[in-house]
Amino acid sequence: MNNHFWFGMTVILVSGAMNAAFALPMKYSRIWKWENLWLVFSVVGIFLVPWTMALGLVPGLMQVYSGITPRALFLPALFGLFWGFAQVTFGVSLRMVGLALTYAVVSGLASLSGSLVPMLAFHPEELFRPRGLLLLLSIPFLIVGLVFYAIAGRRREKEQADPHAGPSAPKSSFATGLALCIFTGIFGSSYNLGFAFAGDILQASKAHGAGPLTSTYAVWSLVLGAGFIPNLVYCIYLLVKNRTGNLFARSGWPREAVLGVTMGLTWVTAVLVYGIGATLVGADGTSVGYMLFLAASILFANAFGLMAGEWKASSPRTRKFLFAAVAFILIAVIVVNLGGLFS
């Protein structure tokens, strides 16, 4: 077994908690609209921080990129672009259907694509060995947990809905939001795939003097830099359409800006810490590690929701669905971690 496996999995667990917490500041915004907050979040978290760290910690970053084949750069950037579209729809889904349902559907679909694809691409022979079988065994538990969590989240939304609101608008919003969640889930693991197919970049970074951990920043700056483009374009579109650009100069903007910056710093730290954890775990960091990252994100999002009183008005039956979801997700986390015994 890799000597750093369990430490790497612990690092990934922490990154999952941070990923679950990044959107919480949106609850405290009073002046800015979604596009204002999301633009600041994107500029800070998706663009500035990753590129600053890469330029500062990867020796000769531009030489690293220029010294490898265009194909080695194209695939991570392409997956980053796909992820960028998914990140936009993720943010919109949070606004339309809430944290519970968004994380459940998105994480469930992303776990299937993000965990299995790297193993099938790089270690297909492991799929029907003990390590791969445990990974496959964990997936049904995770899916059942996500289904229960989605049911609980939907029931909670109905129970907390305004009784004077018309029935047609919520159904329309829910259907659209669910479609966006499905799209996000399919493409949401693309940044993990970008990392998985970035072996040449990691090797070139190390050859230029970067360490095993800091070399990951050369990958994230490329993947997230490409993903920043759809977020930037969509936010500018909404600012123009809704005429909300003037909110950046309205009284109270420093507090709102702090919320957006906090979102960006929390999220990008979670992503970069995940990259470090995946490297420490070893060959299976982008398979079993990513599964743990998603499960931890759901668990901590659930915990933060409870502490924030999101389930205060829910019925006992709804809470039973919630606790059942948590139990199945915990089982999935335990099963997938057992795969490390066979590394």
- 31 Cβ partners below 8 Å, 6+ apart? 247, 250, 252, 253, 255, 256
Q: What is the DSSP letter of 167?
A: S
Distance separating alpha carbons of residues 115 and 188, to the nearest angstrom: 12
Tokens of 175: 């259907």
CA distance linking residue 318 with residue 278, whole number of Å: 35
Helices and strands, number each (H, E), in the chain: 13, 0
Residue 168: HSE in the Cβ half-sphere, 13 Å Cα cutoff: 0
pLDDT number for residue 89: 95
Helix extents (H) in 160-286:
168-187, 190-196, 199-207, 216-242, 253-281
**Distance spanning both ends of the chain, measured CA to CA:** 5
pLDDT in tens, 196-230: 788 899 999 999 999 877 888 899 899 999 999 99
- DSSP conformational letter for 211: -
Q: How far is CA 294 from CA 105, 108, 246, 255, 309, in A?
A: 11, 8, 37, 30, 23
Angle in degrees, CA 143, 148, 152, rounded to 5: 145
> Is 336 exposed, middle or buried, given 0-12, 13-18 or 19+ CB atoms closer than 10 A?
buried
pLDDT score of 130: 79
Backbone phi, psi, residue 103, to 5°: -65, -35
* Length of the chain counted residue by residue: 343
d(CA 61, CA 311) in angstroms, rounded, equals: 47
- For position 99, what pLDDT does the model report? 73
Handedness of CA 179, 185, 187, 188 (dihedral sign): positive
Q: What local confidence, expressed as pLDDT, does residue 7 receive?
A: 87
pLDDT reported for residue 331: 84
Residue type, 78: L
Q: Radius of gyration over alpha carbons of the chain, in Å? A: 20
Spans of the chain, pLDDT less than 50: 164-172
pLDDT in tens, 27-71: 889 999 999 999 999 999 999 999 999 999 999 999 999 999 998
Q: For CA atoms 61, 62, 68, 71, give the dihedral sign.
A: positive
Alpha carbons 27 and 80: distance in angstroms, whole number: 28
